[in-house]
A and B are shown apart, each in its own frame.
Chain A
C-alpha cells in the first residue's frame, strides 16, 4: 500500500470542514469579487456571531450525546425579560445583561434537571421546555414587540479598541473560553468521556449527572448571550424572535464536524467554522445576487453536502483504520 497517499487521504478526510469552508469561500469570491473584501468578511463574522455563540453552547450538549431544541425559546425569553426590565424599570444595561444570562442559566438548569434527574430524553425534555419558554415569553409581552433602548443597540455597532466589532469580539471570546474549557479542564475532557460511553463514564467515577447538567447549563447561558448579541444588533424582540434558531445552531455545530451521537467535535475550529460557513453562504448568495427565494435551497444543498461528506469521511476513516490481518506484497 502506498503509505503517503493513504496519509494524504486521511489528512484530507480529517479536515473536510476546513476544506469545504475554503472551497465555498473561493467559489463565492469568483462569482462576485467584492465578496473577497475585508469589509464583507467582517460582515460575515459579525452576522455569524450570535448564532455562533448559540452553536458553541449547542456543541457542549451534542458532545454529551444530548440535544437542546429549546435554545430558540431561551433566546426569546431571556431577551424579553431583560428588555422589559430595561424599559419599565430602567435597569442599567449591564445589569440587564446579567439578568438575561441569569434567565438563560435558569432555563438551562431546568433542562438539566429534566434530563438528568427526571431522566427524560433530551429531545423530548427540550421540546417541552421549548414550548413552555415561548409561552412564558408571550405571556410577559402579550406578544407585543419589546424595543431595546439605544444604549443597547449602540453596543451592537461598537468596536473593541476601535477595530473589532463588539459582537465579533464576544463571539471570539466565547470560542476561546469554550475551547480552553474543553481542552484544558477536567470537566472539558469529561464531556467527551460521557458522550463516548455514559456507562463507562459512571464506572470510571465520573459524576455524569453533573457533567451532562453542566452542558445544558452552559448551553442555556450561551443561548441567552447569543440572543442578547442579536438584540443588540436588531434593537427589537418580536414574538417570533429565536424561532427555529435551534436548527441553525445544530447545523452550525454539525457542519463544524460535531457528531450528533456524542463524543466527537470541537468548538475551535469546528463550530467557529460551521457558524461562519452558514453565514458566508447567506451573504455570498446575496452578493452573487441569487434570487431571494432560491437562497434557502442553496443553503440546504450545502448543508446536505457537508453532512454527506461527513458520513463518507467517517466511513473512509473507519475503513482506513480497520485492522489488517495480512500485509499484501505490493508488486
Chain B
C-alpha cells in the first residue's frame, strides 16, 4: 500500500447558501497522478482554490503527509509544497526566465539586498536542464513558445520544492509536439515521486495519464477509482449524470451543390501557401490542423483581419483580392474567434449590447444620423437570446463577464445570427466549455447548416470534426495537406496528413 500524501476529508463549501462542494472525500497517494474531471461548475475550481489557500472550507479537513493542512493564503500553500500550473500561465513576458523563476525569492549576495545573479542563473540553468529545455536563463519569456512557457512554469514549481503539482488544463494552447513533451515530463515527475493532480476536459488525455480518476458533479464526488475501471464514455456519463447516447447530435441536412465561398491560391509569405478551399451551402466543413498549422491564421485572413499577398477569395461569385472585416461582414461572413474574452465579447457590456453589436447598422434609420431603432433591436435581441437559451439573468442588465463559459460562447455565436450570415467561420467554438454546453453548440451548428449556412469549423479535436463535419480539410505547415469526405473519414490518415513534415519542420525552426 502506497503512502497517502494528501487527503480530502469531507470538505464542504457554500457560497450564499448554495453548495459548491459537499462532503468531498478522496485521497492522493504519493507518486500517483490523479485525474480530476467534472463539468464546469462541478466544483473543481473551488476545490483547487481551497487546496491553494485562496478559499477556506466551511467544513471538513485536509491532511497533508498525515498532518492537518489548512492554508490561509497562497503563500502558505506554496510553503507546504503545493504548486499550481494554471491554464493561463502566470509569467511576466517582459522579464527573462531566471527573473520569472525567482521573482519572489531571488538568491542574494550574502546579506546584502542585491541579487546574486550568477547563482540565480546557475540555478535556473539547472532547473531548465532537468526539464530538457536548453535555453539561456536570460531569454525573455516573450520570445518563448506556449510550450516552452509551460515548462518554465513547471520549473518554477520545482524550484519552490513542490511535492504536489496541480495541472489545470495544461494542454489547451500547446502544439502536438509540446503536448507530447509535457506528458513525458509529467511522467518523469511522477517517477521522481512527485504527486500530481491533473484537471482537464480532454478525457482521452486524462485516461492516458492517470492512475486514479475522481469525478465531480454538483460539488460531490460521484465516482472514483483506478483508471482501469473507466472509459471515455463512462467518464462522460458520470460527469453529466445521465447516459449520453451520443456526443454529437445527428445532422439533418446534406451539403448542397451551390458554392458559397471559394478560396483560390491564397498565399501570405511565412503564414499560408496556395490554399484552395470550397464551402458549399448547408455544409459543415472541418478545418483540422495541429496548433501552429496555420488554421487560425487562414481564418483570420479569410475574414479580413490579416492581409494576404496572392490569391482570391470568392463569395457570391464576386472575387476580390483584398478584404476588410467590414467587407466580409457585408458579404455575409461571420467569425467566432478562438479567444472569446479578448476578441469575442465586450466583457463589461450587457448580454443585449453584445448580441446587438454586429447587426447594429441594420437596425438604424436610413437617415445619415443613423438613429438606432431601439425597440426593434431589443425585440430581435430578445428573440436570439430566447432561441439560444442563454440563461442567467435579464439580457439588458447582466454583463457578459458574469456568464459561464458556455453561455458566453452562445452570446458570441448569437451576435452573428442577427446579421444572418451565409458563411460562418468558427475557430474552436467549444474550447473550454463543458459537455452540456458543447452539445448545445453542436446542435446550433446543425441548425444553422440546415438553414443553408455554410460553416467552416476549426478545431484541434479530431473527434469533434469527425462527428460534426461533411468534409474535413487538413492543414499543416500553412498548406492544405489533404481533404476527406465523410465516407472516407479515418483517424489515422487524417492525423498522418496533419503531421506531414511537422516534426522535421519543428526542428528546423528552432532558434
A and B touch in the complex (CB under 8 A): yes
- Known A193-B103, A200-B90: A326·B477 in contact at CB below 8 Å: yes
Do residues A325 and B94 form an inter-chain contact, with CB atoms below 8 A? no
Do residues B95 and A193 form an inter-chain contact, with CB atoms below 8 A? yes
Say yes or no for A294: interface residue by CB 8 A criterion.
Answer: no
Q: Within the complex, what minimum Cβ distance (angstroms) separates A321 from chain B?
A: 7
Say yes or no for A189: interface residue by CB 8 A criterion.
Answer: yes
| Inter-chain contacts of A204 with B (CB < 8 A) | 90, 103-104
Q: How far is the CA of A311 from the CA of B316 in the complex (A)?
A: 39
Do residues A190 and B271 form an inter-chain contact, with CB atoms below 8 A? no
Which one of B270, B508, B509 has the greatest number of beta carbons of chain A within 10 Å?
Answer: B270
Do residues A263 and B293 form an inter-chain contact, with CB atoms below 8 A? no
Say yes or no for A38: interface residue by CB 8 A criterion.
Answer: no
Q: How far is the CA of A193 from the CA of B479 in the complex (A)?
A: 39
CB interface residues, B 452-511, toward A, < 8 Å: 477-479, 505, 508-509
Do residues A326 and B271 form an inter-chain contact, with CB atoms below 8 A? yes
Say yes or no for B222: interface residue by CB 8 A criterion.
Answer: no
Choose among B74, B92, B505 the residue that contacts A197 (Cβ–Cβ < 8 A).
Answer: B92
Q: How far is the CA of A305 from the CA of B421 in the complex (A)?
A: 44
Q: How far is the CA of A264 from the CA of B142 in the complex (A)?
A: 12
Q: Within the complex, what minimum Cβ distance (angstroms) separates B480 from chain A?
A: 12
Say yes or no for A205: interface residue by CB 8 A criterion.
Answer: yes
Do residues B477 and A206 form an inter-chain contact, with CB atoms below 8 A? no
Do residues B115 and A206 form an inter-chain contact, with CB atoms below 8 A? no
Say yes or no for B117: interface residue by CB 8 A criterion.
Answer: yes
Closest Cβ neighbor of B145 among chain A residues? A323
| Inter-chain contacts of B95 with A (CB < 8 A) | 189, 192-193, 196
Do residues B270 and A190 form an inter-chain contact, with CB atoms below 8 A? no
Which one of B95, B103, B114, B272 has the greatest number of beta carbons of chain A within 10 Å?
Answer: B103
| Inter-chain contacts of A293 with B (CB < 8 A) | none
| Inter-chain contacts of B145 with A (CB < 8 A) | 323
Say yes or no for B292: interface residue by CB 8 A criterion.
Answer: yes
CB interface residues, B 207-255, toward A, < 8 Å: none
Which one of A200, A321, A328 has the greatest number of beta carbons of chain B within 10 Å?
Answer: A200
Q: How far is the CA of A203 from the CA of B75 in the complex (A)?
A: 9
Do residues A325 and B106 form an inter-chain contact, with CB atoms below 8 A? no
1/0 per position for B13-24, CB-CB distance to A under 8 A? 000000000000
| Inter-chain contacts of B273 with A (CB < 8 A) | 326
- Known A192-B94, A200-B90, A263-B92: A327·B115 in contact at CB below 8 Å: no
Closest Cβ neighbor of A199 among chain B residues? B90
Q: How many residues on the B side are at the interface (Cβ–Cβ under 8 A)?
A: 37
Do residues A203 and B114 form an inter-chain contact, with CB atoms below 8 A? no
Q: How large is the interface on A (under 10, 10 to 19, 20 to 34, 35 or more residues)?
A: 20 to 34
Closest Cβ neighbor of B52 among chain A residues? A203
- Known A184-B114, A184-B117, A324-B509: A206·B103 in contact at CB below 8 Å: yes
Choose among A186, A189, A201, A324 the residue that contacts B270 (Cβ–Cβ < 8 A).
Answer: A324
Q: Within the complex, what minimum Cβ distance (angstroms) separates A270 from chain B?
A: 14
Q: How far is the CA of A283 from the CA of B273 in the complex (A)?
A: 55
| Inter-chain contacts of B106 with A (CB < 8 A) | 186, 189
Do residues B92 and A200 form an inter-chain contact, with CB atoms below 8 A? yes
| Inter-chain contacts of A196 with B (CB < 8 A) | 92-95
Q: Within the complex, what minimum Cβ distance (angstroms) separates B78 from chain A?
A: 7
| Inter-chain contacts of B293 with A (CB < 8 A) | 325
| Inter-chain contacts of B143 with A (CB < 8 A) | 321
Which one of B75, B94, B145 has the greatest number of beta carbons of chain A within 10 Å?
Answer: B94
Do residues B74 and A203 form an inter-chain contact, with CB atoms below 8 A? yes
Q: Within the complex, what minimum Cβ distance (angstroms) separates B154 from chain A?
A: 15
Choose among A192, A323, A326, A328 the residue that contacts B92 (Cβ–Cβ < 8 A).
Answer: A192
Choose among A189, A192, A193, A326 the residue that contacts B115 (Cβ–Cβ < 8 A).
Answer: A189
1/0 per position for A166-207, CB-CB distance to B under 8 A? 000000000000001000111001101101110011011110
Say yes or no for B353: interface residue by CB 8 A criterion.
Answer: no
| Inter-chain contacts of A185 with B (CB < 8 A) | 113-115
Choose among A192, A206, A325, A328 the residue that contacts B104 (Cβ–Cβ < 8 A).
Answer: A206
Q: How far is the CA of A193 from the CA of B103 in the complex (A)?
A: 8
Using a CB–CB cutoff of 8 Å, the interface residues on chain B facing chain A are 74-75, 78, 90-95, 99, 103-106, 108, 113-115, 117, 142-143, 145, 269-273, 292-294, 297, 477-479, 505, 508-509
Top-5 shortest CB links A-B: A326-B478, A325-B478, A196-B92, A205-B104, A263-B94
Q: Give 10 A-B pairs besides A197-B93, A205-B74, A325-B297 with Cβ atoms closer than 8 angstroms.
A: A189-B115, A192-B94, A193-B95, A200-B90, A200-B91, A263-B92, A325-B478, A326-B270, A326-B273, A327-B270
